[in-house]
């Protein structure tokens, strides 16, 4: 009886964990890696695995506070019930101050204006450090320069991978700390049309994304957005700019999906 009760308890804990969180789950279904691969033009390989992992870690880790966050005069900061998603789940290009939950946690501390400003500076500095690492990894693995138009390409891939991570997190129970779906979609649209120069193909996908505005439930809208991107993005990457990216990635030795 005790063993059966223990088994039921373990199953219940696992079920709750699955509801409350979403992991990278390399090489498996239903994780962040699988979601990201589903919208990219690549077959699974070590190089892209590394790229996804670096960006994933810059969103989710370390689980504790990042270095210096709770140094004086901010030693009393706490994220309370909200967990690690208080940080870096804003979208790659978003201002951390767009997070209402983080702002509310700061307001609770009743710091002086100077203390609050120095706290935000810590966060923005750490976000910039993580973004540089992500951009550098994208540029190195995908073969882009970090200047001119190719810097925009690197930013677009980093942005899209980050946004897919956030859309995946919307499938979990606690979504209060996640970036607003409107802003996530706006970031994706900008990446497709402006950064990647997707022209008419980008306009068609962006129109489909605009149509999701009629969905009032954020979880459902995030899920629908992901389905749209899964259907259209892999071929989008391969076909735009007269096949520039397909040729570029082939030269880099990155395996591309065979699309009908």
pLDDT in tens, the chain (260 residues): 444 433 333 333 333 334 467 999 999 998 999 999 999 999 999 999 999 999 999 999 865 678 899 999 999 999 888 888 999 999 999 999 999 999 999 999 999 999 999 999 999 999 999 999 999 999 999 999 999 999 999 999 999 999 999 999 999 988 999 999 999 999 999 999 999 999 999 999 999 999 999 999 999 999 999 999 999 999 999 999 999 999 999 999 999 999 75
pLDDT value, residue 135: 97
pLDDT value, residue 62: 65
pTM of the model: 0.90
Q: How remote is the C-alpha of 22 from its chain's centroid?
A: 12
165-to-4, 55, 57 alpha-carbon distances in Å: 36, 9, 11
**Around Cβ 117, how many Cβ atoms within 10 Å?**
10
DSSP letter string over the chain? Answer: -HHHHHHHHHHHHHHHHHHH-----TTSTTSHHHHHHHHSSBPP-HHHHHHHHHHHHHHH--SSPPTTTTSTT-TT---GGGGGGGSS-S-TTS-GGG-HHHHHHHHHHT--HHHHHHHHHHHHHHHHHHHHHHHHHHHHHHT--SSHHHHHHHHHHHHHHHHHHHHHHTTSS--TTSPPHHHHHHHHHHIIIIIS--HHHHHHHHHHHHGGGG---HHHHHHHHHHHHHHHHHHHHHHHHHHHHHHHHHHTTPPBP---
Longest dimension (CA), the chain: 67
The ranges assigned to domains in the chain are 32-251
- Residue 29 phi/psi, 5-degree rounding, is -80, 160
pLDDT value, residue 4: 40
d(CA 40, CA 257): 9
Among positive and negative, which fits the CA dihedral 233, 242, 210, 48? Answer: positive
pLDDT value, residue 63: 59
């Amino acid at each position: 009886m005790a063993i059966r009760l223990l088994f039921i308890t373990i199953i219940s804990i696992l079920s709750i964990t699955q509801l409350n969180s979403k992991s990278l789950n390399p090489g498996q279904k239903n994780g962040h890696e699988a979601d990201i691969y589903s919208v990219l033009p690549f077959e699974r390989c070590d190089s892209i695995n590394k790229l996804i992992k670096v960006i994933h870690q810059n969103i989710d880790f370390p689980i504790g506070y990042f270095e210096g966050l709770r140094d004086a005069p901010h030693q009393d900061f706490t994220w309370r019930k909200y967990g690690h998603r208080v940080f870096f789940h804003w979208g790659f290009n978003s201002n951390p101050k767009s997070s209402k939950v983080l702002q509310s946690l700061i307001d609770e501390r009743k710091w002086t204006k100077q203390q609050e400003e120095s706290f935000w500076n810590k966060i923005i500095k750490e976000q910039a450090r993580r973004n540089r690492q992500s951009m550098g990894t994208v540029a190195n693995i995908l073969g882009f320069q970090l200047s001119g138009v190719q810097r925009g390409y690197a930013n677009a891939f980093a942005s899209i991978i980050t946004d897919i991570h956030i859309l995946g997190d919307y499938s979990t129970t606690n979504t209060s700390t996640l970036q607003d779906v409107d802003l996530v979609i706006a970031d994706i649209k900008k990446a497709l049309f402006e950064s990647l120069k997707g022209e008419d193909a980008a306009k068609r996908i962006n129109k489909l994304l605009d149509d999701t505005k009629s969905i009032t439930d954020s979880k459902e809208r995030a899920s629908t957005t992901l389905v749209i991107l899964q259907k259209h993005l892999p071929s989008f990457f391969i076909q735009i700019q007269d096949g520039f990216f397909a040729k570029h990635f082939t030269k880099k030795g990155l395996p591309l999906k065979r699309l009908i």
